[in-house]
Each structure stands twice: as structure tokens, then as C-alpha cells.
Chain A
């Protein structure tokens, strides 16, 4: 790794001390050309020597999310400067998304082994989306959950023998269509009568015998959502 210049933005002195120590110890190639405790100090620094990397804390003083805004402006004004977000906002996932949208090159959560040489190296080599392990753990966990949800949907299709018409019928029921309206759909080659039969058939498939009495279209749609047969996040009507 070549030598490079870095500005550290960190409002807590004790933390700054630790971060500087990590650079000194693990990343001797880095030259810390300045540290800023707040927004105005940072911009003052930027007017001086331009760094290669800005290590950015998201919360400064009273403004707990100002880092997102700084990142956005920084990327707009100095597009060549790399921004590595170094934050203690372990729980605020929404903020991660915001800061990625603002153009950050990576996010390092202030937990686990904190800032590691490898991650900084990746950023300096131009890699985007550099994340440390705790961050990735959280992302992967979410990813798994999502994938499992999707596979539950396909399992349900098999378990309950749902064909594409069943799916379409249930999806439109959930959207609030009446059977007449569903019968009018282009991809629905059935009349109202036969849809009624299909509904009765679906009730038999999706409900246990003792639960079947008094089940109406709304019940059925809700049940289909519970069983992951239809996904409420992708509830879109077909063309008429």
C-alpha cells in the first residue's frame, strides 16, 4: 500500500486517540493530516491540503446524523476523496442506507475489531462497498431471513398445490377485487361460477376441516399471506 493522507472526523477525544493509535500501529502508511471535531472544523481543513481518505464519524456534537450530509457534500465537491464511514450507530440501519446513498465507499461499525488494516487497504485500492465483519454479519442475517421467506413461498406453492391461477386469484382477492372483476382479467380464463368453485376448493386446501366454516374471501386472502403463498410486499395487480 502506498502512502496516503487521511483526515479523521471524530468528536470524542478519547475515541480519536484510539483511532490515531490504530493508524500509527497498524497502518503506518497513513499520514494523518488533520482531525476535526465538528462540521466547521472539517470544512476549514478541507480548504487546506486535500486528503486521500476521510474517516468520517456520523454524529458530531449535538448533530447526531450530520455525517450523512457531510458525506454527500464531500462527494459532490471532492469526488476523488475516498470516504470511509466509521460509526457507532450499530442499530440505526436506515442511516447506513442513507450514507451509502450519499456516496460513502464503505462502512466500518465501531464494534468487534474496529478499524482493520485490510479494510482501509481495500478502500485505498478503489474498492467500493467495504464493510467490516460486524456490519456484514448483520447484513447477511437480514439476507438469510429474506431468502428464507422467499423459499417459504415456493414451498407453500408445492405443499398446497397452488397453480398460477390460484396464485393470481388469491393475489387479486387480497387486493380487494371482487370475483366478477377477477373474471374480467385478461389472464384469467374463468367465469365467476368457476371462480367460486375454485375458492371453495382453496378453502379446503388451506384450512383444516374444523376451521372451514364461515371462511370468506378476506379470510382466505389473509390465510394465503400467512402461508407465504402470496407476498404482501409484491402485491401488484395484473393488467385488465
Chain B
């Protein structure tokens, strides 16, 4: 179709041409030719001829189109682009003459090139190339006149394209275009096009090679253009070539080269322009170019070419400018500008680049005559115009629209294909399904019992119970593991509780000291007895502190970390929730967004982040800022907490970074900072814990950087889990470079506005050094602009020109769209292809739909009645049975009667189905048997399923409970650990200090000041201690106590089990005996187990045998654990439950009994150690009520 249509139309055209060649047509052609030939010599004549041609061509379409084209050209030269475009559109719309259509396209390209509409330009160009290709296929049939038009269109197309590319700065493309017609252009074919071609080559920029050669070639082309146009009086090219000469001869290199190699031609032109009278040696350097330009100006004036006239004024200005006559230059530029303004009135479309050039010159001339303000004004207009002319915006929008159109088409096609294939697949499947369905239904009715549905239904019952069993197994496993954890944590918890109570053990001593110092204060002197008593108490406190330290050491490493991979954003988000706490102190908290993931203990990481952020808050004054920073490598993420707070001295920083144990009260700058460093030590401890755990955590780290008065930065590192693609990291680096560039760019700009032009240039040079490839070109453009402004202000014209050119070049580079041309072409092809495709697809779709109807519906209707009712009913029955089985999962706690009721229900349902089915099937006994079989299966499994169901729901509940308890204990233990180490580290300085002061008082008993000091210190110590204790104790308010009833037999069992496991490990003869009392005791079973374990473990290495006895008394049961073979004296036994390094286990036993005491509300449970003949007995009591 695409090829046939134009051929037909051209053929028709030729027929018309031959048969109807009238006089009017001849006149029309004649005037058209005249109009065409005079268009470069006298635009007014051309206009008149074109009008005439138009008037003769009322019935002659080709002539009318040609006349319109010619008129369009006239309007183009008069810069009435609106008119021109309107006429061309008219031709394109109305004409069917391919040759004139081609000419219109080419003319349209010319207009679009002028007004800088790239998209329309390429649209016309593609259309023109298509037409040209078609016309070239039938050149032989054309008349001479038509051949001339084709020749014109062809050459003009390439020349205009070349011009277009030239102004875009795509020199190689421009060169290619103009070379395409180098063999084609002949003088005898069309003089004006011949001149145009040579003028193009001569006017510069299109030729390549060494500079001298290019200059000479250009000169030759221009001479050729000039001499021909002058002889033939083609004013336009004469003026143009003169202007080009003028521009060429401003440059001294060109003048010298041409004087050397083309002396004759040079002199010839010189003579032509300036006459013989002036000697070449006497005139000023610029006299010749000036004369050339003036002459050219005159010619253009005759030709009434406003555009070129303005350009010439600009050229004149340039000439004056280059010789330093700034005033004259300025005057010419102003004239040019006024011409531009007059054009603006004529047409809504204007040539922005043209205006921009003049404004740029004006900016320059104002700068040179010292009017900085005006200079800036014009430069801004210039830049705005450049920006306007940047077609990019417009093109982007258009391109987007276009690609959307194309995309829509493709999507439509894809959807259509998809739809079709789906339909086909469905049809095939359905046909297959119907066939197999029919056969299987018949088969299943004959042999239902072996049918899939039946076995499925039957299997489901089995499967149901089986999956439940599996689930129960899984749940049990889970519950077991949770229970193990809980046991572990509970043990840990009671150990910590024991520690907390140990902590409290020093409080009575503290109270004693305080009472003594109070007395000394009131008495006004210190007696020796009191002082030595205080020292004894202090020694005891120190001893207990040591015990605590020892115990904490013993338990170190027992608590494992819960390592998992988690996104940092989890904990950062939690920190964000705290924002208000920071805002209350008027501190801004900055938390970054991230998708980094790390491997660590999530709870502890949150703890660290919170601790460090809180610390930062504590030491940051109002109005400060705390920022969380994240730096990452492939291996780790470094979380930084940066504050603008009071900071730390170098000494403190060293202490925090390098010592493991330190006295935190020495850190910080004032007394208010007590408590500083403790949380940090914990964080460090956690990091060390990671490192000990595995080599994977080798990258972990912790550190502090700080400066007094400026703020601190605390950081920790966790191993990173890579999940983000590498490009992310790359882009990070790039953005860093970008930042430097932007900073330098900003400096440049600021320097410029402040008038420090030298600095500005320096900054810009540096910025250009930083700028690599992937930069925002527009920024570089702006940078070049700033450089241009700076060098303009410094009156460095060469630098200015270089930078300005770079700026413009980059500007075009940035805005050009090299793919636009081919894109437009592709799009058109796609449109064409898609429409054909659409038709084909639609057709095939209709055919396929018809086929579907034939195959599918016919088949269906024929079979439907026969199969559906029977098969569906049967399927329904099976489904119902299945759903009953499914419903079992929703059964409430079923008692036996529930099960019986369910069974009855089942039987009824099944019998109903049997009755219904028997309508369809004659052999009714077979179905009855079937139902009975099925029923038997259900009954068999029903009770089992019920039982499993109950087990499962209780197990699930239990699991929830244990998981919850597990988590709670874990957190509680962690916090207790921290509290305990706080107490340890925060208070260990005081006893020694008190001791010191007491000692000093012993030699100076009447020193009241010292007594007061001692009293104050002790009070402070006590307050601090109680405060910290209170913190730990608060954790203990959450009780873990679970009351159980435990038989005495079970307690004996517990002991036996422990002995057995120990015996299995270590081959030793240990006898175990127990008496029994038929009583239950109230206790926490887990705690009791811990108690028994600890008692046995504490004596295992020495004991010969263990005898466990019980004795019931009122509402308590006394339990006796008698160990033989161990001798402990009375003193040892009396102190067995007081804190000491070796009595850890007993202290825990004491704590467990105390817990029971507190829980049951009847104080008075006993725990004693008693001497026996060959060992000792531990006696404890528990409530039996």
C-alpha cells in the first residue's frame, strides 16, 4: 500500500499533465520559474511573479502549489515565519503533487531550522526523504520543469540539513550532508543552488583539514560565489560572500595566509570593494573588512534582508570591537538590536540564537565601556535566550509523548497477542478437560470406589490426623526448646536475683557507718572505737564487693547473644520514636534513612544505640544537635553518634578507648557528669562479647573521638550483610565528587558576585579538574558562563571568547538530541507496522473466536445435560463430606457425647446423599456399601482427630506463653546484668576513700571539718548506692514465680536424677537414699529444681552419699538434705548463707527460699545448716497447704 499509492498518484498526475496542458498552465509555470530565479536577486520581483503564477493556476494544482511554495520562500526571507508556515501547511494539506509536496517539506525544514524547532524539522526531513526516494524511482517520466524542481528540492534538503547540523555544533554530520551533494551540484543545472552550495562551504566550519588548507579552500569557494553572483547580479549571495570575506579578514591569520597564497584573488576583491586608489600598505588593519561589511550591508539593504542586515551590524560591531573602538562597536550592536526588535513585531516566531548573539555582543560592549550594570543585564538576557532556545525541554515533552504513543501501540499488540494465546490455551485445555471429564465421570460412576474423589476424601481424613500429628510434634519440639531456654534463663535470673540481694547485703553496714558518723558529728569528735568500728565495717563492705565481683566474673560468658541479620532501619525507627525526649531539651536528633543490613543481636544493638544517644543528650546543651551517621564498607557498617556537646578531654578519650576498667567518676569535666562512661563501658563490653563469639565479628569495633567544648563522636561497627548492589556504593563515591564540584561551583559564583574575579577563575579551574565524565552538563555550562563573566570583567577578551564558546558549545551539546532524527523515523514506521499488525491480529482474533464458538459451545451444549447433574451431585456429596472433615478442626472441646452427636449427624447426611444418588444409579446396594465404608473410616478416625485437636490447641497456647516468658526473661537478665555492673563500677571507689578518711581521722580525732567531710561522703555513697540498687531491684518487681504443687516424692526424684547424671559423667560411688511423706508442697517447680541442683553441685566433689528426708509439721514440710563425708565446723555452717566467694550456691538457695517466703505471704520459712555425726544437713521448709 505504502508504495502503490504514490505510484498511482504520480501516474495520474502525468496523465493529467499530458492531456490538459493549457495556456494558463504554461503561464503559471513561466511565472513560477521567474519567481524562483529572482528570489536571490530581488525578493520583491519574486513576490510579484509568485502572485501572478498563483493567479494563473486556478485549475492547475501543481502550479498553484509551486506558487505557494515560492510565496512561502518570500515570506521566509521577510522573516514572516507565521505566513510562511501557513502557506506550506496549506500545500501539504491540499496538494497531491509529490514533487511540490517534497518542495514544501524542504521549505518547511528551512523555516523550522531558522526558528529552531528540531522536532518539526526532522518530521519534515523524514517525510521529504521518503518522497524523494519514491520520486527517484520514476525520474524518467518527469518533465524538465519537474526535474528542475526535484533537483532544487534535493540540493536544498541537504544544504538545509547541513545548516541545521552546523548550528547544532554537529560538524561531522553537517559535513556529511553537504558532501552528499558534492558530485550532484552542477552549475548548468541551477545557478542559485550551485552558489548556495559553494557559499555554504566557503562561509566556514564545514571543511576539515589543516588550518591553512581549510582557510584557502574556504576562500576559494567564497571567491567563486562572489564572482559568479556579482556577474549574475544575484544580490543575496554577493552580499553573503562579502560578509563572509569581512568576517574572514578580521582574523589576521586568515589575512596573512590569503595574502601569501592567493595574492591575486585577494587584490581583486580588494580592488572591487575599495577601488585601486588605496594602497594596501597604508590602510589600517580593519579598513578592508570594514569596507567589505559596509558593501555587504548596502547590498542586503537593497535585497531587504532584515536578518542578514542585523547580522552585518553585528559583524561591523565585531570589527570595531577587535580594533578597540568600543564606542563604535557599541553603536553598531545597538542598531542591530533595534532591527531585531522591529522584526519581533512582524512575526510571532523569531530566531532566538540571532537575538542571543546580539545581546551577548551588547553585554560585551557595555562591559568594555564600563557600564557593568547594563552589561549584566544583557548577559542575563543572553543566557535566558540560550536557555529558551534549548529545545531540550520541548523535545523531552514531545519525545515522551511520542514514545508513549509508540509504547501504547506495542503494549496493545502485546496484550492482544497475550489475550489470543490465553484464549487458545484455554480452548485447548477446555476441550481436553471436557473430554477427560466425560470419560472419567462415566468411569467413576461405574467404579466410584477407585475414583480419585473418593480416595481423596478418604485420604483427607487420614491426612488430617497425620498433619495434626506432625504439627503437634513440631509444636512439642518448639515448646521443648523454649522450655530449655526458659530453664536456662530462669537459672540465670535467680542467680541475678541472688546477686541483687548480695548487693543489698552491704546496706546494713552502710547504715551502721552512717549512724556512727552521725554520732561523731553530733559529739563533735571521733572516738578511736568508733573509727576502728567504721574501718571494720568498711572492710566487710569491701569484702562483699569483692564477692560480687567474683560472682559476676564466674557468670561471665554464660549469656549468649541472639545473633540475626536485620535491617538497621528497624532500630533507627525505634530511636526516632524517642525524638520528643530530645526535643524537650531542645536538641535536634537527626536519624538517617537506610537500607543497610547488619548481623548482630538486635536487642543489644538497640540498647547500645539508646545508651549512646542518651549519653549524647546528657552532655549536649540546649539548641545542640545529635546526629546518627552511617558509614559502610563491604564488610561493616559504622554507626556514629555525633553530638555538639561539651566533649571530653584527650585524657578521657584515651581512657574510654584503651582501658577496660576505669573509674567513671573521674571522667567528664564537672561533677554533674557523674555516671558518665558506664553505659559506654557496657557498649564496649557488648562489642567485646561479639568478638569473642566468632571470627565473623572480627570487624566489630568501638571508639570515641572528642574535643573539649566541640562535641564527641562515639561509634561502633557491626558486620554488614551485603544485599545492596554495588552500584549503590559507586553512586555514593560519585556523589562525593559531585559535592566537591558543587562546592567549588558555588565558590566561583560567590566570588563573581563579590567581584573577586581572579578567585572565581581559580575556583572554576579547580572545579573543572574535579569534573569527571558523569557530570551534570548543565552545571559545567553554568561554570563556563561564570568563567566568561569573570574574564569579561577582567577584560581578557580571548579568555572570554573561549569560555563563551565553550559555554555555547556545551549548551548545544547538552540540548541536542542525536537520536531525534532516527527516532522520528522509527516511530513512523512503527505506527505503520502496528496498524497493519492490528488489522491482521483483529482478523485472526475474529477467526479464532469463531472457532471457539464452533468447538467449545457446540460440544458443551451436547454434553452438558447428560453429565452435569449426575457428576455434580456426586461431587457435591464428596465435597460435603470433605468439609465435615474440615469442620472437625472447629470442634469445641468435644466430650464423648459431642462425638456421638457428630457421628449421628454424619450418618444422616451420608444416608441422605445415598438416597439422592440412588435416583441416578440403579445399583443402589453398591452405593449403600460405599457409604458404609466411608462411614466406618470416619468413625475410626473421628475420636483420634478430636483428641489431637485438643492437644494441639493447648500446645499452641502453651507455646505462646513459653515464648513470651522466654523473651521476657532474656531482656530482664540483660538489664539486670547491666544494672549489676553499674553498681559494681559506679561505687567501687567509695569504700577505699572512706577508709582513707577514717584512717586520717584516727590521728586527728577532733578535726570537725574532717568529720563533716566523712559524714557527707558516707551519706552520698549510701544515696548513690541505694539509687542504683533501686534500679536493679525495680527489675525484680516483675515476678517469674509460677506456683505448682509438687509431691515430696518428686523432690526426692529430682535429687536422684541429678545424682544419676553426675554419676554417669564421673564414675563414683555415691549412695542416694530417701524417705517419703505423702504430702504436696507449694513451690515453683523450676526454682525447686534449681535449688536441688545447686545443693548437690556444691557438695558433689566431696560427698560420700546423700540422704533426703521429709518431715511434715502443721502447714509446712521440712526437707533435709544430709550429706555425709563432708566436715564443716560450726563457724562455717553459721556463715554458710552469708556472702562469700565459696558460698555462691548456698546464697542462691537462700534466694529461692526467700522468693517462696515472699510469694506465699506467710513469712517464716526456714533454711538452716546443721552439724551431723559424719557430715552436715541442709534443712529447708516449704508450705504444704
Q: When each residue 497-534 of chain B gets 1 if its CB lies under 8 Å from chain A and 0 otherwise, what string results?
A: 00000000001110110111011000000000100010
Contact B533 A113 (CB under 8 A): no
Measured CB to CB, the residues of B under 8 A from A are: 507-509, 511-512, 514-516, 518-519, 529, 533, 536-537, 540, 1033, 1134, 1136-1138, 1146, 1149-1150, 1153-1154, 1157-1158, 1161, 1163-1169, 1180
Whole-angstrom CA separation of A63 from B394 in the bound complex: 92
Contact A12 B515 (CB under 8 A): no
Whole-angstrom CA separation of A18 from B1153 in the bound complex: 28
Which B residues are CB-close (under 8 A) to A162?
none
Mostly, the B contact residues are: helix
Contact B518 A113 (CB under 8 A): yes
Whole-angstrom CA separation of A15 from B505 in the bound complex: 12
Which A residues are CB-close (under 8 A) to B1166?
39, 62-63, 66
Contact A88 B1163 (CB under 8 A): no
From A18, A62, A68, B1149 is in contact (CB under 8 Å) with: A62
The yes or no answer to A159 lying at the interface (CB within 8 A) is no
Closest-CB distance, A89 to chain B (whole angstroms)? 10
Whole-angstrom CA separation of A98 from B1161 in the bound complex: 9
Whole-angstrom CA separation of A15 from B1158 in the bound complex: 25
Closest-CB distance, B1147 to chain A (whole angstroms)? 9
Which A residues are CB-close (under 8 A) to B516?
18
Closest-CB distance, B460 to chain A (whole angstroms)? 45
Whole-angstrom CA separation of A111 from B1164 in the bound complex: 23
Whole-angstrom CA separation of A21 from B1153 in the bound complex: 33
Contact A69 B508 (CB under 8 A): no
Whole-angstrom CA separation of A129 from B1103 in the bound complex: 49
Q: When each residue 1-27 of chain A gets 1 if its CB lies under 8 Å from chain B and 0 otherwise, what string results?
A: 000000000011011011001000000
Which A residues are CB-close (under 8 A) to B1158?
92, 94
Whole-angstrom CA separation of A21 from B1163 in the bound complex: 30
The yes or no answer to A149 lying at the interface (CB within 8 A) is no
Which B residues are CB-close (under 8 A) to A39?
1166, 1168
Contact B1157 A65 (CB under 8 A): yes
The yes or no answer to A110 lying at the interface (CB within 8 A) is yes
Contact A88 B507 (CB under 8 A): yes
Contact B1163 A98 (CB under 8 A): yes
Whole-angstrom CA separation of A11 from B1136 in the bound complex: 12
Which A residues are CB-close (under 8 A) to B1033?
91
The yes or no answer to A64 lying at the interface (CB within 8 A) is yes
Contact B1134 A62 (CB under 8 A): no
Which A residues are CB-close (under 8 A) to B1165?
63, 65-66
Contact B1150 A64 (CB under 8 A): yes
Whole-angstrom CA separation of A55 from B39 in the bound complex: 133
Q: A62-B1136, A62-B1180, A111-B511 are in contact. List 10 more A-B contacts (CB 8 A).
A: A18-B533, A39-B1168, A62-B1137, A64-B1150, A65-B1157, A66-B1166, A68-B1164, A98-B1163, A112-B515, A113-B518
Contact B508 A15 (CB under 8 A): yes
Number of interface residues of A (CB under 8 A): 31
Take A110-B511, A113-B515, A114-B512 as given contacts and tell me if A37 and B1134 are in contact as well, using a CB distance cutoff of 8 Å.
Answer: yes
Whole-angstrom CA separation of A114 from B1164 in the bound complex: 24
From A38, A62, A68, B1150 is in contact (CB under 8 Å) with: A62
Contact A64 B1138 (CB under 8 A): no
Contact A12 B508 (CB under 8 A): yes
Whole-angstrom CA separation of A16 from B1154 in the bound complex: 23
Whole-angstrom CA separation of A12 from B506 in the bound complex: 12
Take A14-B509, A114-B511 as given contacts and tell me if A62 and B1146 are in contact as well, using a CB distance cutoff of 8 Å.
Answer: yes
Whole-angstrom CA separation of A92 from B1134 in the bound complex: 24
From A63, A88, A114, B1153 is in contact (CB under 8 Å) with: A63
Contact B533 A63 (CB under 8 A): no
Which A residues are CB-close (under 8 A) to B1163?
58, 65, 68-69, 95, 98
Whole-angstrom CA separation of A58 from B516 in the bound complex: 22
- CB nearest to B533 among chain A residues: A18
Closest-CB distance, B681 to chain A (whole angstroms)? 28
- CB nearest to B1161 among chain A residues: A94
Contact B1136 A61 (CB under 8 A): yes
Which A residues are CB-close (under 8 A) to B519?
113
Take A12-B508, A113-B518 as given contacts and tell me if A64 and B529 are in contact as well, using a CB distance cutoff of 8 Å.
Answer: no
Closest-CB distance, A70 to chain B (whole angstroms)? 8
Contact A64 B511 (CB under 8 A): no
Contact A88 B511 (CB under 8 A): yes
Closest-CB distance, A46 to chain B (whole angstroms)? 18
Question: Most chain-A Cβ atoms within 10 A of its Cβ — which of B511, B1154, B1157, B1169?
Answer: B511
Take A14-B537, A17-B533 as given contacts and tell me if A63 and B508 are in contact as well, using a CB distance cutoff of 8 Å.
Answer: no
Which A residues are CB-close (under 8 A) to B1137?
61-62
Whole-angstrom CA separation of A38 from B1179 in the bound complex: 14
Closest-CB distance, A79 to chain B (whole angstroms)? 20
- CB nearest to A111 among chain B residues: B511
Closest-CB distance, B565 to chain A (whole angstroms)? 43
Contact B1168 A61 (CB under 8 A): yes
Q: Which of A23-74 contact B (CB under 8 A)?
A: 37-39, 58, 61-66, 68-69
Whole-angstrom CA separation of A66 from B1180 in the bound complex: 12
Contact A38 B1168 (CB under 8 A): yes
A-B contacts, 27 of them at CB < 8 A, read A11-B1134, A12-B1138, A15-B509, A17-B533, A18-B515, A61-B1168, A62-B1146, A62-B1149, A62-B1150, A62-B1166, A63-B1164, A63-B1165, A63-B1166, A63-B1167, A64-B1157, A65-B1164, A66-B1165, A66-B1166, A68-B1163, A88-B507, A88-B508, A94-B1158, A95-B1163, A110-B512, A111-B511, A112-B511, A114-B511
Whole-angstrom CA separation of A68 from B1162 in the bound complex: 9
Contact A14 B540 (CB under 8 A): yes
- CB nearest to A69 among chain B residues: B1164
Contact B1168 A62 (CB under 8 A): yes
Which A residues are CB-close (under 8 A) to B514?
111
Contact A66 B537 (CB under 8 A): no
Whole-angstrom CA separation of A61 from B1138 in the bound complex: 7
Which A residues are CB-close (under 8 A) to B540?
14
From B507, B536, B1150, B1164, A14 is in contact (CB under 8 Å) with: B536
Whole-angstrom CA separation of A204 from B507 in the bound complex: 54
Whole-angstrom CA separation of A14 from B543 in the bound complex: 13
Which A residues are CB-close (under 8 A) to B536?
14, 17
Q: Which of A89-103 contact B (CB under 8 A)?
A: 90-92, 94-95, 98
Which B residues are CB-close (under 8 A) to A65?
1154, 1157, 1163-1165
Closest-CB distance, A71 to chain B (whole angstroms)? 10
From A61, A68, A113, B1134 is in contact (CB under 8 Å) with: A61
- CB nearest to B529 among chain A residues: A21
Closest-CB distance, B1056 to chain A (whole angstroms)? 24
Contact A114 B537 (CB under 8 A): no
Closest-CB distance, A135 to chain B (whole angstroms)? 13
Whole-angstrom CA separation of A113 from B1180 in the bound complex: 35
Which B residues are CB-close (under 8 A) to A17?
533, 536
Which B residues are CB-close (under 8 A) to A98?
1163
Whole-angstrom CA separation of A135 from B1153 in the bound complex: 26
Whole-angstrom CA separation of A61 from B1163 in the bound complex: 15
- CB nearest to A95 among chain B residues: B1163
Whole-angstrom CA separation of A88 from B504 in the bound complex: 10
Q: Sort A-B residue pairs by CB-CB distance and give the 9 closest, nearest first.
A: A62-B1167, A65-B1163, A69-B1164, A62-B1137, A88-B508, A68-B1163, A114-B515, A63-B1166, A111-B511
Which B residues are CB-close (under 8 A) to A58?
1163
Question: Most chain-B Cβ atoms within 10 A of its Cβ — which of A17, A18, A69, A98?
Answer: A18
Q: When each residue 107-131 of chain A gets 1 if its CB lies under 8 Å from chain B and 0 otherwise, what string results?
A: 0001111100000000000000000
Question: Most chain-A Cβ atoms within 10 A of its Cβ — which of B1033, B1136, B1163, B1166?
Answer: B1163
- CB nearest to B507 among chain A residues: A88
Closest-CB distance, B540 to chain A (whole angstroms)? 6
Whole-angstrom CA separation of A11 from B508 in the bound complex: 12
- CB nearest to B1157 among chain A residues: A65
Whole-angstrom CA separation of A63 from B1118 in the bound complex: 13
Which A residues are CB-close (under 8 A) to B1149?
62
Contact A66 B1164 (CB under 8 A): yes
Whole-angstrom CA separation of A39 from B1146 in the bound complex: 19
